[in-house]
Amino acid sequence: MFGHSHSRQAQAELRNPLTAYPQPKFKEQPQAAPGLAQEMNPKPDHGEESYRGSGRLLGRRAVITGADSGIGRAAAIAFAREGADIVLNYLPSEQKDADEVVALVREAGRKAIEAPGDISDEAFCRQLIGRAADALGGIDILVNVAGKQTAVEDIEELTTEQFDATFRTNVHAMFWLCKAAIPKMPPGSTIINTTSIQAYQPSPSLLDYASTKAAIVAFTHGLAKQVAGKGVRVNAVAPGPVWTPLQPSGGQPQEKIPDFGSMVPLKRPGQPVELAPIYVLLASQESSFVTGEVYGVTGGNHLP
């Protein structure tokens, strides 16, 4: 009599990870940076149709950067469906993508506060956190996803201006946002940074980007120890190749787009939705004994 109770629930579908999502070859599809998800072919899957929540973040208050597309958008959709209210940051030029995310968050019955602006500006970072705390009545999740990635094949062609801009967006902004948020975060709060497989296995054309991602790993380890006594946890996610607008808008040389992701053991790029559950886990109380950790989601190219 006990053997059949599972039949009342829909069976979890087994999906082969090699073929569960689109595989190369892809079309070349140049876009101007920062790029739009809606102009990609195939369109990235951020969980719009598939992500199902179960109340794991009910009543939580999150700030997510880069929330218009890619991993930030997947996190925003998942967080809303898990019950969190969200302040969504993105660049003003990404408004068309952001509108779709705002609609999805509100459809889930949660607050979506739009906060367009450039996090490479310190004053804006402080304003973003202040405004978020006011709008949500506090902050207990900070998710740093927004990043700048521009492929340059030769160090002689890599300008100081680009090097600085990549560090300001990827490293300085994380520092400014954490610095502003931590004094407002009650015990039990969590910070999730976004590093990359590039921190450990840098591509020759991504010198500046890979260096920022290595800095994020060290910052995450150090800050986690510093704020552990406050009851705040700090972790990072390290994606491998993921199908986001960052790639065709200059993050990869155009000729690499058709085979993007084919070099990993799973033979394809990840989709943003495949990162969302890790961000949910690290944001939720379920990971209460995890801090200073880096979670790889790489398609099989393991972290050291």
Domains of the chain, with CATH numbers? Answer: 55-297 (3.40.50.720)
Q: Is the pLDDT of residue 214 over 60?
A: yes
Mention every residue, 6+ apart, whose C-beta is less than 8 A from residue 121. Answer: none
- pLDDT tens digits, 221-262: 999 999 999 999 999 999 999 999 989 898 998 999 999 999
Q: Is the pLDDT of residue 112 over 90?
A: yes
Q: What residue has token string 């890790």? A: 278
pLDDT at residue 3, rounded to an integer: 52
- pLDDT tens digits, 262-299: 999 999 999 999 999 999 999 999 999 999 999 999 99
Q: Is the pLDDT of residue 74 over 50?
A: yes
What percentage of the chain has pLDDT greater than the value 70?
A: 97
pLDDT at residue 98, rounded to an integer: 97
Mean pLDDT in residue range 169-185: 98
Q: How far apart are CA 55 and CA 66, in angstroms?
A: 23
State the chain's mean pLDDT as an integer. Answer: 95
Residues linked to residue 62 through DSSP beta bridges, in sequence order:
86, 141
Q: Would you tell me the crossing angle of helices 207-227 and 173-181 to the nearest 10 degrees? A: 20
Helix, strand and coil percent figures for the chain, each rounded to 5: 40, 10, 45
pLDDT at residue 88, rounded to an integer: 98
pLDDT at residue 279, rounded to an integer: 98
Q: How many Å is the Cα radius of gyration of the chain?
A: 19
Residue 105 confidence class, pLDDT cut points 50, 70, 90: very high
Closest Cα partner for 21 from 277, 252, 267? Answer: 267
Closest Cα partner for 94 from 228, 278, 249? Answer: 249
Task: Examine the residue annotation and report whether 209 is marked as an active-site residue of this protein.
Answer: yes
Read off the pTM: 0.95
Alpha carbon separation from 172 to 60, 216, 219, 254, 279 (Å, rounded): 26, 10, 11, 28, 21
Q: Tell me which of 200, 209, 279, 295 is the catalytic residue.
A: 209
Q: Residue 282, Cα to own-chain centre: how many angstroms?
A: 12
Q: Which helix (H) or strand (E) holds 216?
A: helix 207-227
